[in-house]
């Protein structure tokens, strides 16, 4: 039976690389807002002989995520793997000058959407599935207030779920990728030498054996 992998935040960067790396062994459900990028990912997966279901959805829309998970259940009855690299990178700013809209969006994507998805995806993973979150420890760093606080909260949710499901499943993993030349990082370090950063495809290839082995 074909294994099913849900990737929320699949259109670019590490999410897209993980989708391509998993495609030989999994049917990919690729979730992101950018339709064009999802279509490019689909082309790459099909060229490599894999198959994907594109879900151009906003993870902050509760009804859309309910529809997504109900659709997964109706078609496949389960998920084997959920990867959640989706994140909002708010502009860097002093803690006293964080824009209200930036903070609200960071909370909505990085915390609230993650909490809802855990609730909706957990039954699909059951006892034997696995979920993977991607840490980027910035909490307490200067100018990273909005991103650092909400990313830390996202990982705190994941760690709680990990502890709660340790005996019953699903298996919850938290991994820390190497710095990559992603759009998120470019917002934080626009002038850095990107040639020294890890290629997303190489990083996906490095991380997947540990993810799949548990």
pLDDT at res. 214: 66
- pLDDT tens for 122-157 read 999 999 999 999 999 999 999 999 999 999 999 999
Fold classification of 3-213 (topology level) = Rossmann fold (3.40.50)
Residue 183 has pLDDT above 90, yes or no: no
Model pTM score: 0.96
- Residue 117: burial class (beta carbons within 10 Å; 0-12, 13-18, 19+): buried
**198 is written with which tokens?**
């890890």
- Laid out side by side, the sheet with 81-84 consists of 52-56, 26-32, 3-8, 81-84, 130-134, 171-175
Residue 64 has pLDDT above 70, yes or no: yes
C-alpha separations of 81 from 2, 15, 35, 170, 180 in Å: 12, 13, 23, 9, 23
d(CA 21, CA 184): 21
């Amino acid at each position: 039976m074909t294994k099913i992998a849900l990737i929320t935040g699949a259109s670019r960067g590490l999410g897209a690389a993980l989708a391509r790396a998993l495609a030989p062994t999994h049917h990919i459900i690729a979730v992101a807002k950018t339709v064009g990028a999802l279509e490019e990912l689909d082309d790459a997966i099909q060229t490599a002989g894999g198959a994907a279901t594109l879900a151009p959805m906003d993870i902050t829309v509760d009804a859309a995520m309910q529809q997504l998970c109900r659709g997964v259940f109706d078609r496949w009855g389960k998920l084997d793997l959920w990867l959640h690299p989706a994140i909002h990178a708010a502009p860097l700013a002093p803690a006293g000058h964080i824009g209200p809209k930036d903070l609200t969006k960071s909370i909505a994507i990085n915390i609230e959407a993650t909490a809802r998805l855990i609730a909706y995806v957990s039954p699909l993973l059951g006892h034997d599935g696995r979920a993977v979150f991607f840490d980027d420890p910035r909490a307490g760093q200067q100018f990273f207030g909005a991103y650092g606080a909400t990313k830390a909260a996202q990982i705190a949710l994941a760690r709680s779920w990990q502890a709660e499901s340790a005996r019953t499943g699903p298996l919850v993993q938290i991994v820390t990728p190497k710095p990559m030349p992603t759009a998120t990082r470019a917002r934080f370090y626009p002038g850095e030498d990107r040639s020294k950063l890890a290629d997303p495809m190489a990083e996906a290839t490095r991380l997947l054996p540990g993810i799949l082995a548990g």
